[in-house]
Chain A
Amino acid sequence: MAELKSKDVLGLEHMSADEIQLILDTADSMREIIDRPIKQVPTLRGRNVLSLFYESSTRTKISFDLACRYLSAGAVSVAKSGSSLDKGESLRDTVRNVEVMGPELVIMRHPSGGAPHYLAQNVTSSVINAGDGYHEHPTQGLLDMMSVRRRTGTLEGLKVTIVGDLFHSRVARSDIWGFQKMGSEVVVSAPSTLIPPDIEEMGCRVEPRVEDALKDADVVCVLRLQLERQKQSFFPSVREYHALYGINARRLGLARPGALLMHPGPMNRGVEITTDIADGPQSIILDQVPNGVAVRMALLYLLLGGGE
C-alpha cells in the first residue's frame, strides 16, 4: 500500500507526486464523509491531536478542528493569545512539554519560516505545518489541487496562474511546488515589489503584466492582499493595486472559457477580487473550504495510520 515517506508534512517542496496523489485520493474519500448528513466516523477514536497557533487563524484552525472531530480524534487547540505561547516560553520548552503530554500529532502555525521543522526534529509525534512565515502552507496547496482536480479530473497539462502578493505568500509557494509536481504549468504575476527574487528557480514563469499571465489560464488563483503591506510601501494604494492587479470579470475573461477561480480567503472584496466573479459561476472558492477539511482528514488518517 502506498504511504507517506515522512512522519511529518512540512511542505510540498520535498513531497513526491505519488504522495500528493495518495493524499488527494484519500481526501476524495474523506469528502464523501463530509457530504453525509452524519459526518462523524470512528476511524481515529482514541487518537489525540494538538494544535499550536502562534499566529491568528480562523479558517485553517476550524478546518483542522473539524477534521479531527469528523474522524473522532481528540483535539486540543492552543492559540497564542492568553497562553504560554504568549508568555515568552521558548519554543524548546513548548516542544518539551508537548512531547511529554504525548499527542500523536501536532499541528503548528508560526510566523517564522522553519519553526515546524524545528518542532519536527525534536518530537517523535507527527507534525503538520499549518503555515510557517512565508515559507509554505502545504494543506492549502493540497486543498487547492484537490479543488481543481475534482472539477477537471487531472492536473496534468493545466495552466495555473497565481496573482497577488507572492512575496509574503506561503500559499503561493506551496501551490507553485504542488501544481508543478502534478504536471501543471504555473505562471505568477504581481507588482514588481511583490515578486520575491529568483522565484523562477521554483520552476514557475513570471509575467509582470497580469493580462499576459491570465491568457489561456485554466485556473486563476488570487492571493489575499495584506492591506498593511501598503504602509510598508510595497504598493502605493489599494486603489492602484486594484486598478493594476485586481481580478475582475474583464481580466478573468482573458483566461480560458470556464477557467476556475480560487482564493484562499479571507477575501478583500473589491481589492484583489471583485464580488461578481467571486460569487460567479467560475468561482470554486466555496469548494475549497470543505475540501480543506477533507485534505486535513486525509493527512490525519495517513499520518496516524487510521487503517491499522
Chain B
Amino acid sequence: MQKILIKGGHVIDPGNGRDTKADLLVEGNRIAAIGDQLTVEGAEVVDAEGCTVSPGFVDLHVHLREPGFEYKEDIFTGTRAAARGGFTSIVCMPNTEPVIDDETGVRFVRDKAGQHGAVRVYPAGAVTKGQKGEEIAEIGLMHEAGAKMFSDDGLPVVSARVMSTALTYSKMFGVPISTHEEDPTLAGDGAVNFGRISTLMGLPGMPEEAETVMIARDLELCRRVGGHLHIGHVSTARSVALIAGAKEDGVNVTCEVTPHHLTLTEDLVRESDYDTNTKMKPPLRTESDRRALVTALREGIIDAVATDHAPHSFDDKDREYIFADNGIVGLETAFALLHDRLVLPGDLPLHRLIEALTAAPARILGVDAGTLREGALADIAILRTDQEWAVNPGDFASKGRNTPLVGWSLTGKVETVLVDGKIVMRGGELL
C-alpha cells in the first residue's frame, strides 16, 4: 500500500482540537497515524517544515456550471480550481441547464466528477422543480442518489408556503436547505448595495432588507416546522443579528459567508470606476456590515466560509455595469485573501479560519471530511502562511477570470493538496 509521510508541519485540525507540530502518515486513502517524529520505511516523504497542515477545505457553495454553461466552467476545470485553492470537497449548485432537480442530474454530476474531478463533488439538488419556486423537487430520490444539500441558489424560494413545505419534507432525510435570501420585490433590478454608493454612482441599488426580511421569514418557518436551514452567503450586520437571535432560541440554523463579503466593501465599486467584477449577489455592503461579518465568523455565529465561486466568461462580465452577470470566482484566492486580510492583521485566528473551512462545513453537510483523525479519508491541504504572491487570473485553473483581486499581493498560499490519499497538487502546481 502506498505510504506518504508529511513531515515537520504544524498540524491544525480544529475538528479534533489539534494545534501542534506533528508528522502525519497516509496509507492508501486513509490517515494512518499522527505523531511526533514518525519514521516509516518506504514512505514518500513530503517536507512540510514551516508549513501548516490542515484538513482539506470543504466549500458549501460552488458553481461548476456543468451541464449547460460549460463555456463558463466545467467539472474538470472547476474541481481543479478547487484543488488549487486547497478545497478537497465541494458542493456544486444546481442552477445549471437543465437544472439539477432530479436523480438523473445528481448522478450525472457525480459520475462526471468521479471520472474527471480533481476533488470530491457533492451536487446540491434543487429545492423546487426547475428552480421555479412552485413545487418541491424529488428531494428523497436525489438524496438517495447522493445529494447532501438542497438549494435553489441564484434564486430565492419566493413562496413562504413552498419554503415551509421544503423544510418540513427535508426533515425525513436530515438534509440542510441552503437559501439564497433575496426578496425580489425589494431587490428589483439592483446592481449594487442600496445606499451611498448607489446614489453616488447612479446605479440601481439592492437594499439590505431584501436579504434580511427573507432571513427573518425563513428563521420563523424553521423555528415552527423544523428542518435544517442553512443560510447562504450572508452579507449584512442585521442578517447576523437575526441569525444569532434564532440560534440562541435553539432554531436549527447554520450559515455561511463568502471571502469577498468578509474583505471587500461597496467602496470598491467606486474605487474601481465601475469594474463589473465588483458586481455580485448579494452585493458588497458597507464597512460596518463587513466588520459585523468578521466578528460573527470569529464568534461562531457564522459557521462556515463558502466561496460562492461564480465563474463567468470574459464577455459575460465585459459589459455595461447594469447588464453584466453577477458573481466572481473565489476558489483559488479564498485562503490567501482571508489569511492576508483577516488572520495577519489579527482579526481572525488562523485556527478559527481553518475550522470555518473544514470541520464546520463538513458538519453542516453531514460528511466525513474536514478532519485529520486517524482512519479518516486522507484529504489534506498543506499551507504556506509566509508566502507572498500576486493574483494573476491567467494562472487560474478555473475558466473564470472574473475577480476584482487582479494584481493583489496576498500572503498565504496553498502548497500541496492530497485528495483520497493522492497528491493532486505539489509545490503550488497541479499534477
Task: Given A117-B273, A135-B203, answer yes or no on A201-B318 (Cβ-Cβ < 8 Å).
Answer: no
Q: Which 8 A-B pairs have the closest CB atoms?
A: A135-B202, A114-B274, A112-B320, A198-B196, A113-B202, A196-B199, A112-B322, A134-B202
Contact of A198 among B199, B202, B274, B315 (CB under 8 A): B199
Task: Report A72-123 residues with CB < 8 Å from chain B CB.
Answer: 90-92, 110-115, 117-118, 121
Residue-by-residue, is B28-71 near A (CB-CB < 8 Å gives 1, otherwise 0)?
00000000000000000000000000000000000000000000
> Would you give the shortest CB distance from B336 to chain A, in whole angstroms?
28
A-B contact list, 17 entries, CB within 8 Å: A91-B320, A92-B319, A112-B320, A113-B201, A113-B274, A113-B322, A114-B273, A114-B321, A117-B274, A118-B320, A121-B273, A132-B202, A134-B202, A136-B202, A173-B202, A201-B196, A202-B200
Q: How far is the CA of A117 from the CA of B322 in the complex (A)?
A: 13
At the interface, yes or no: B190 with Cβ under 8 Å from chain A?
A: no
Q: How far is the CA of A133 from the CA of B190 in the complex (A)?
A: 13
Contact of B199 among A114, A117, A121, A199 (CB under 8 A): A199
Taking A91-B319, A114-B273, A197-B205 as known contacts, 15 extra A-B pairs with beta carbons closer than 8 A to each other, sorted by chain A number, are A90-B315, A92-B319, A112-B203, A113-B201, A113-B321, A115-B320, A118-B320, A133-B203, A134-B202, A135-B201, A135-B202, A170-B202, A197-B195, A197-B198, A198-B195
Say yes or no: A112 contacts B321, CB within 8 Å. yes
> Would you give the shortest CB distance from B195 to chain A, in whole angstroms?
5
Task: Given A90-B315, A197-B194, answer yes or no on A111-B199 (Cβ-Cβ < 8 Å).
Answer: no
CB neighbours of A118 from chain B (8 A) = 274, 320
CB neighbours of B199 from chain A (8 A) = 196-199, 201-202
At the interface, yes or no: B323 with Cβ under 8 Å from chain A?
A: yes
CB neighbours of B194 from chain A (8 A) = 197
Q: Taking CB as reference atom, which chain A residue is nearest B202? A: A135
Q: How far is the CA of A199 from the CA of B203 in the complex (A)?
A: 13
Indicate the size class of the contact surface on chain B: 10 to 19
Task: Report B146-179 residues with CB < 8 Å from chain A CB.
Answer: none
Residue-by-residue, is B200-218 near A (CB-CB < 8 Å gives 1, otherwise 0)?
1111010000000000000
Q: Taking CB as reference atom, which chain B residue is nearest A11? A: B202
CB neighbours of A117 from chain B (8 A) = 273-274
Q: How far is the CA of A118 from the CA of B276 in the complex (A)?
A: 10
CB neighbours of A111 from chain B (8 A) = 320, 322
Q: Taking CB as reference atom, which chain A residue is nearest B321? A: A114
Say yes or no: B201 contacts A197, CB within 8 Å. no
CB neighbours of B318 from chain A (8 A) = 90, 92
Residue-by-residue, is A180-210 near B (CB-CB < 8 Å gives 1, otherwise 0)?
0000000000000000111101100000000
CB neighbours of A199 from chain B (8 A) = 199
Task: Report A145-198 residues with CB < 8 Å from chain B CB.
Answer: 170, 173, 196-198
CB neighbours of B321 from chain A (8 A) = 112-115
CB neighbours of B323 from chain A (8 A) = 112
**A-to-B contact residues, CB < 8 Å:** 13, 90-92, 110-115, 117-118, 121, 132-136, 170, 173, 196-199, 201-202
> Would you give the shortest CB distance from A71 to chain B, in whole angstroms?
30
**B-to-A contact residues, CB < 8 Å:** 194-196, 198-203, 205, 273-274, 315, 318-323
Say yes or no: A114 contacts B201, CB within 8 Å. yes
Task: Given A135-B202, A197-B199, answer yes or no on A90-B319 (Cβ-Cβ < 8 Å).
Answer: yes
Contact of A114 among B195, B315, B320 (CB under 8 A): B320
Q: Taking CB as reference atom, which chain A residue is nearest B324? A: A112
Q: How far is the CA of A134 from the CA of B273 in the complex (A)?
A: 15
Q: How far is the CA of A110 from the CA of B203 in the complex (A)?
A: 12
Name which of A121, A136, A196, A202 has the most chain B CB atoms within 10 A of its CB: A196
Name which of B315, B318, B321 has the most chain A CB atoms within 10 A of its CB: B321
Q: How far is the CA of A33 from the CA of B250 in the complex (A)?
A: 77
Q: Taking CB as reference atom, which chain B residue is nearest A131? A: B202
Name which of B203, B320, B322 has the most chain A CB atoms within 10 A of its CB: B320
Q: How far is the CA of A135 from the CA of B191 in the complex (A)?
A: 13
Q: How far is the CA of A173 from the CA of B199 in the complex (A)?
A: 9
> Would you give the shortest CB distance from A174 to chain B, in whole angstroms?
10
Say yes or no: A133 contacts B205, CB within 8 Å. no
CB neighbours of A136 from chain B (8 A) = 202
Say yes or no: B203 contacts A114, CB within 8 Å. yes
CB neighbours of B198 from chain A (8 A) = 196-197
Q: How far is the CA of A170 from the CA of B194 in the complex (A)?
A: 17
CB neighbours of A202 from chain B (8 A) = 199-200
Q: How far is the CA of A116 from the CA of B195 in the complex (A)?
A: 22
Q: Taking CB as reference atom, which chain A residue is nearest B320? A: A112
Say yes or no: A110 contacts B320, CB within 8 Å. yes
Name which of A112, A115, A135 has the most chain B CB atoms within 10 A of its CB: A112
Q: How far is the CA of A118 from the CA of B319 in the complex (A)?
A: 9
Q: How far is the CA of A92 from the CA of B313 in the complex (A)?
A: 14
Q: How far is the CA of A91 from the CA of B199 in the complex (A)?
A: 24
> Would you give the shortest CB distance from B323 to chain A, in whole angstroms?
6
Q: Taking CB as reference atom, which chain A residue is nearest B315? A: A90
CB neighbours of A197 from chain B (8 A) = 194-196, 198-199, 205
Say yes or no: B319 contacts A113, CB within 8 Å. no
> Would you give the shortest CB distance from B270 to chain A, in whole angstroms?
10
Say yes or no: B203 contacts A113, CB within 8 Å. yes
Q: How far is the CA of A134 from the CA of B201 in the complex (A)?
A: 8
Q: How far is the CA of A197 from the CA of B274 in the complex (A)?
A: 19
Q: How far is the CA of A91 from the CA of B276 in the complex (A)?
A: 14
CB neighbours of A196 from chain B (8 A) = 198-199
Q: Taking CB as reference atom, which chain B residue is nearest A166? A: B199
Q: How far is the CA of A113 from the CA of B273 in the complex (A)?
A: 10
> Would you give the shortest CB distance from A224 to chain B, in whole angstroms?
16
CB neighbours of A92 from chain B (8 A) = 315, 318-319
CB neighbours of B274 from chain A (8 A) = 113-114, 117-118
> Would you give the shortest CB distance from A76 to chain B, in whole angstroms?
22
Task: Given A91-B319, A112-B320, answer yes or no on A133-B196 (Cβ-Cβ < 8 Å).
Answer: no
Q: How far is the CA of A169 from the CA of B79 in the complex (A)?
A: 46
Say yes or no: B322 contacts A201, CB within 8 Å. no
Q: How far is the CA of A11 from the CA of B201 in the complex (A)?
A: 11
Q: How far is the CA of A111 from the CA of B194 in the complex (A)?
A: 18
Q: How far is the CA of A201 from the CA of B200 in the complex (A)?
A: 8
CB neighbours of A112 from chain B (8 A) = 203, 320-323
Q: Taking CB as reference atom, which chain A residue is nearest B275? A: A114
> Would you give the shortest CB distance from A55 to chain B, in whole angstroms?
12
Q: How far is the CA of A170 from the CA of B323 in the complex (A)?
A: 19
Q: How far is the CA of A153 from the CA of B64 in the complex (A)?
A: 63
> Would you give the shortest CB distance from A47 to chain B, in whole angstroms?
28
> Would you give the shortest CB distance from B51 to chain A, in whole angstroms?
41
Name which of B195, B198, B201, B315 has the most chain A CB atoms within 10 A of its CB: B201
